[in-house]
Structure 1
Amino acid sequence: MKLIKLAAGVVNTTPLDWKGNLQAITEAIEEARQKRVSLLCLPELSLSGYGCEDMFFAPYVAETALAQLEEVRHLTTDMAVSVGLPVVLHNKVYNASCFIVNKQIRGFVLKKNLANNGIHYETRWFHAWAPGERTTLRINGVDYPAGDLVFDVAGVRIGFEICEDAWIANRPGRDLYARGVDIILNPSASHFSFHKSHTRERFVQDGSRAFGCVYVYTNLLGNEAGRAIYDGDAMIAQSGEMLVSGTRFSYTDHYLLTATVDLEKGRVEQAQNRAAFPKAAEALEVPVPFQWPDMAPERHVYQLESWEANGFLKEEEFARAVSLALFDYLRKSRAQGFVVSLSGGADSSACAALVYLMVDLGIQSIGLDGFKQKLSHIPAIQGAKDARGIVGHLLHCIWQGTENSSAETKYSATSLAEDLNADFHDVNINGLVETYKSLIEDGLGRKLGWDTDDIALQNIQARVRAPGAWLLTNVYNCLLLATSNRSEAAVGYATMDGDTSGSISPLAGIDKTFLRHWLRWLEETGLGGGLTIKGLHAMNNLQPTAELRPPDRKQTDEDDLMPYEVLNAIEAYGFRDKQPPKEVLRKLEVDFESVYSREKLLSWTERFFRLWSRNQWKRERYAPSFHVDDHNLDPRTWLRFPILSGGFERELAELREQQSAGRKRIGFGS
């Protein structure tokens, strides 16, 4: 047997936070030493932070990263460590992993395949390295190997797939197998989205089987730069068997996942494989005195966390991902808490509930004292005895009613705030609304009425709420949470400078249908089957409504728009799948056969595409949102659309012509 103890080191980094990133890396290395780890893999670009964006072009960023690397090098006595950083080579920036053995830099592996889809724009900053190519990188007068490298350390061959390298069809692991590697390290910065961990598990496990090796995968953790969330996924597999997997959505600055492996197992499998491969480049031998220490065999038990296996994975992931994102946003911005304009509806209730979950889950993860220590910049919470006590200082809710607000929604807001122990402010803004109306009526020389000025009268109520919410936010030095969801963003069913006001939009990446389902689940089932919020009961029994028209007009969201299930389907087919309106309608006819008439579906399709085109400017102005799935509408990170466009006029005209020509089904005989 040839036993080696390996570790995947997960760290929570922040772009350009040189002190904080180095501290997390230092603590990970020290813990690895205490656990007698011989080989530690740290995430992609963990020294600089992954989300530096155009600051990667600044020469001092790579220079500072190299200075930080020197600090890390001195910590690696009697161990091997991989750490990620940007490097400049021939005036080009590369995404690199530096391999250090026993305090000596042995080389820089440069990323071959750059992520350039969705929220990733790596090709904007980095150059891709050509497979099989090597060069040297001069640092302080010393030349180090750089490029496509495999290291031979005391008879153990180690290669790399850096994040995106493992996601492509012709992944580098095939070449590493031909070069006889024993271990593949995958340092990643892989953003969270629903169920994505399943995909990672497959390529880690399949890679270890196909390449006859030990595969070590590690990822970043937390809300690194504002939008993307990293779940801290970590795994170690060998020869097709998943040995261990890590804890996702931890509130720690770092954690380690370790396994003791027998390298002979993979070598026997490689020896029995008769596949033909092209001649591979030689590995770089590490010419330093280094011995892998003797290790005792270890039994590994791979199992999912209980919450991952309880049948509510999407519900759990949403709660845990957004709660962690809020926590990191709060501590990294050094704000004193959150303000929510709590209307009693689903969106604002979800925002308030997520702040409570942030506190409860954080305490579960790192303990009450650890939670308060990580928010040591907030004096108000330091004397709190439990989660409710902390929430009372971190969450400030304001109810702003008008003559159109109902007693039911007010009770929904007040009962939830009481259940969460949130600070609650009851403010009547009807006088402010009337003042603005009077000013404009005097200027126009006429009265404003619902039959002639419907949208204007709705919007002024929503907009008048924003200054009070912002004032409270400034008084408390907090972050204001915008309360608009993705379904509303798609069609512009939100008031700019009203419910879109905020520092963050926690819900702008999630659709209303799922959100309503999640809130009922949170009341009745809850996280881990036990963490529920019963104060959501009143809200969960209300019909969603903006309550901006007089009560006798019986306003509801779905009457204003269309059923949310239809709206979400049109959005998915039209903009996720990039289908024209006539194809969208064909799909709707299948999905909603016997539920809605074709005329209704046609009308809603037309309405959606017109509203979508008209309201791109609103999506451009939304506060930063958290990325939770591949339906995101954020033009900054996922779905670009022109602010001015033809508005699908030609496509919608075709739709109507086909409808009037014998009312044939689109695509069949037309």
Structure 2
Amino acid sequence: MKLIKVAAGVVNQIPMAWEHNRRTIIDAIDEAKRQQVSILCLPELCITGYGCEDMFFSHDVMEQAKQSLLEIVPHTDGIIVAVSLPLRLANNRTYDTACLIANKRILGFVCKQVLANNGIHYETRWFQPWTPGVRDEIQIGEFSYPVGDLVFDVSGVRIGFEICEDAWIAGRPGRNLYERGVDIILNPSASHFAFYKSHVRERFVIDGSRAFGASYIYCNLLGNESGRAIFDGDSMIASNGQLLVSGPRFSYADHLIVTAVIDVDDTRLSQAQNRVNLAALSPNLRVPAQFDFPPVKPVVQKAELEYWEKDSHLKEEEFARAVALALFDYLRKSRSQGFVLSLSGGADSSAIASLVYLMIRLAEESIGLEAFKKKLGYIKAIQNKKTSGEICEVLLTTIYQGTENSSKDTYDSAESLSKSIHATFYNININGLVETYTRLIEEQLGRQLSWKTDDVALQNIQARVRAPSVWMLANIRNSLLLSTSNRSEASVGYATMDGDTAGSISPIAGIDKHFLRGWLRWLESEGVGGTIKIAGLKNVNGLQPTAELRPPDQKQTDEEDLMPYDVLNGIEKFAIRDKLSPKEVMQNIEVVFEGQYDRDKLYVSVERFFRLWGRNQWKRERYAPSFHLDDENVDPKTWCRFPILNSGFEKELAELKEYVEGKEGGGRRGRIGF
């Protein structure tokens, strides 16, 4: 048996933070050496950070990346390491590359062949795809190195690469690597988080190791690197179709590695049984200097899922852990002193308050409170705190801003939640401010405003008046103001610009209200990991969602203003994710909600959704940055682009009306599920 100890490493990077990025890479290498690892794979573009955006056009960024690489190389004594960076070749084209280093020597650079260019990814803007089978050279310092489609032969062990998106296509480069007899495939990735996506990655890692008769090492970036994308730090090692080990996701550490012992002779036997003609293999890049693979003992390994991944509420767990980690990284990388939140007592603001509390508790679970405080060492006020509750009191400031239309129920909800998670809680009444603005306008108009003639204006002024005071608190505390709008509201414009949309970041703008309400009930009763529950959510979970902007006798509720949230969510999936016409959406919604809502209710909901979606793109363009969570995202900057000025679906809605009124033949049809 030829046994080799290998590792997948994950690192939490920051775009163009050269010292930080270099330090985390070196720390990961040092940790791998302490564990006597022979081969370590680190994530895609880990030297620069993945999210450099148009700074990838910068000549200086290219030079800084090469300089960082040269400073990393001396730390690779006695180990083979794969690190990644952008390279600009003599043809003035830039490539996304992985560099293989062995025992303080650069062996060469492999270029990414398949670029991600959908949704949140825009790689073809900055990089060129590499042509399979082509090889070139690049000079760095005094030496020239091979670059392109390479396989490395290091002391008889053949090593190849699939870089992130390379592995997500049908004709993946791994097939060519198989034909060239690779023993080990390394996959450095920058794969953004989305619900259940880890299961897809696990499948292509396992299937790749089986189909290509190789050991497969996969590693992903970790954390909120540059603002919107979240990286979960997924890491896996598989061999011959068996998952040997997978690492923890959503860690609060700057780096971590997961190791396994692989058997090269075993994978070669698999290739031989698949009738690979090793004598006819295309030539590999051979390394003259021998690398010493130290002997290791065979290890019986079995990949274990974490407790929460075995649970049936995987989406709830992933949402909690992904957004909590994203908030933590956004806080520390922006060097803000904490968070400020206008806490209405409703579901949206209560969910955000809970996520900030979970940020602290999950960090404590991951790295401990002392390490958490050290990472936030610039926040002096938390350094002497001993518990997560004491820290939350410093990091989260909430304020309830009531008017004559606010109820005791929502106040009690806000207060009880704040006490439950130990957040700082303030209470002010803004009724006088609302009346002042109202009188000023009435004087200019020469008439009184009324709910009969000025409903929207009177609702919105209450929401907008709340913004200056909460911004003032954020400024005083040098904190991030958290915007409270969710994705359902963004879709239909059910939000007051410069009111509940005001903020530095919008943590829940990527999730629908229907899910959010269920998540809050789950967080109260079952909790994250089955242990972290928030009892203070009891009051909010007993409330019907309402903006509380109309007089109490009007009994305003969100679902009466809009439509049932489960229906809104279903329509949104068909209309925005699947790009169906209003008539097609109606046909599908009729099947999904048959027996739950009458046909007229569904028709009104579909018609209202499309009209509101069409006229409210300008609002979505102005939302604070939000986190990407799935393919139902409506963020126009990263996922769902739509014209601000548009037809309003006039022709399509006319066709919908004809269908509902029975003027169109063909009857009802649709597909079940969404």
What is the TM-score of this pair, normalised by structure 2? 0.98
Deviation at 1:295, TM superposition (A): 1.4
Residues 206-217 of structure 1 aligned to structure 2 (within 5 Å): 206-217=207-218
- 1:52 aligned onto 2:49: no
Q: Secondary structure at the match of 1:74?
A: helix
In structure 1, the residue matched to 2:387 is: 386
Query: How large is the RMSD of aligned CA atoms in angstroms?
Result: 1.4
- Return the letter of the residue paired with 1:494: A
Contact 2:13 2:225 in 1 (8 A): yes
In structure 2, the residue matched to 1:555 is: 556
User: Whole-Å Cα distance in 2 between the matches of residues 351 and 120 of structure 1?
Assistant: 27
Residues 137-152 of structure 1 aligned to structure 2 (within 5 Å): 137-152=138-153
Q: Deviations over 1:506-556 (max 9, x none)?
A: 000000010000000000000111110000000000000000000000000
Contact 2:221 2:232 in 1 (8 A): yes
- Return the letter of the residue paired with 1:30: D
In structure 2, the residue matched to 1:518 is: 519
Contact 2:181 2:278 in 1 (8 A): no
Deviation at 1:299, TM superposition (A): 2.0
In structure 1, the residue matched to 2:367 is: 366
- 1:640 aligned onto 2:641: yes
User: Whole-Å Cα distance in 2 between the matches of residues 313 and 569 of structure 1?
Assistant: 20
Residues 372-411 of structure 1 aligned to structure 2 (within 5 Å): 372-411=373-412
Contact 1:38 1:78 in 2 (8 A): yes
User: Whole-Å Cα distance in 2 between the matches of residues 328 and 82 of structure 1?
Assistant: 25
Gaps of 5+ in 2: 670-674
Q: Percent identity?
A: 63
User: Whole-Å Cα distance in 2 between the matches of residues 471 and 655 of structure 1?
Assistant: 47
Deviation at 1:279, TM superposition (A): 6.2
Contact 1:585 1:601 in 2 (8 A): yes
- Return the letter of the residue paired with 1:597: D
User: Whole-Å Cα distance in 2 between the matches of residues 95 and 115 of structure 1?
Assistant: 11
Residues 48-197 of structure 1 aligned to structure 2 (within 5 Å): 48-89=48-89, 90-197=91-198
In structure 1, the residue matched to 2:26 is: 26
Q: Secondary structure at the match of 1:185?
A: strand
Deviation at 1:307, TM superposition (A): 1.2
In structure 2, the residue matched to 1:38 is: 38
Contact 1:178 1:279 in 2 (8 A): no
Contact 1:41 1:81 in 2 (8 A): yes
Q: Secondary structure at the match of 1:532?
A: coil
User: Whole-Å Cα distance in 2 between the matches of residues 209 and 152 of structure 1?
Assistant: 21
CA pair 278-102 structure 1, distance change in 2 beyond 3 A: closer
Q: Deviations over 1:37-83 (max 9, x none)?
A: 11110000000000000000001111100000001111111111100
Residues 75-474 of structure 1 aligned to structure 2 (within 5 Å): 75-89=75-89, 90-274=91-275, 280-474=281-475
User: Whole-Å Cα distance in 2 between the matches of residues 660 and 207 of structure 1?
Assistant: 53
Q: Secondary structure at the match of 2:258?
A: strand
Deviation at 1:289, TM superposition (A): 3.4
Contact 2:154 2:290 in 1 (8 A): no
Deviation at 1:281, TM superposition (A): 2.9
Q: Secondary structure at the match of 2:573?
A: helix
In structure 2, the residue matched to 1:536 is: 537
Gaps of 5+ in 1: none
Deviation at 1:274, TM superposition (A): 2.9
Contact 2:160 2:182 in 1 (8 A): yes
Q: Secondary structure at the match of 2:657?
A: helix
- Return the letter of the residue paired with 1:269: S
Q: Deviations over 1:223-278 (max 9, x none)?
A: 00000000000000000000000010000000000011111000011111136899
What is the TM-score of this pair, normalised by structure 1? 0.98
Moved more, 308-317 or 473-482: 308-317
- Return the letter of the residue paired with 2:575: G
Q: Secondary structure at the match of 1:106?
A: strand
User: Whole-Å Cα distance in 2 between the matches of residues 33 and 529 of structure 1?
Assistant: 36
- Return the letter of the residue paired with 1:564: Y
User: Whole-Å Cα distance in 2 between the matches of residues 595 and 301 of structure 1?
Assistant: 46
Deviation at 1:301, TM superposition (A): 2.2
Contact 2:7 2:217 in 1 (8 A): yes
In structure 2, the residue matched to 1:5 is: 5
Deviation at 1:141, TM superposition (A): 3.9
User: Whole-Å Cα distance in 2 between the matches of residues 108 and 274 of structure 1?
Assistant: 30
User: Whole-Å Cα distance in 2 between the matches of residues 22 and 279 of structure 1?
Assistant: 41
Contact 1:175 1:280 in 2 (8 A): no
Q: Secondary structure at the match of 1:40?
A: strand
> What number of residue pairs does the alignment pair up?
669
User: Whole-Å Cα distance in 2 between the matches of residues 661 and 352 of structure 1?
Assistant: 48
User: Whole-Å Cα distance in 2 between the matches of residues 539 and 501 of structure 1?
Assistant: 22
CA pair 480-666 structure 1, distance change in 2 beyond 3 A: farther
Contact 1:586 1:666 in 2 (8 A): no
Q: Deviations over 1:467-508 (max 9, x none)?
A: 011000000000000000000000000000000011111000
User: Whole-Å Cα distance in 2 between the matches of residues 665 and 544 of structure 1?
Assistant: 39
Deviation at 1:657, TM superposition (A): 2.7
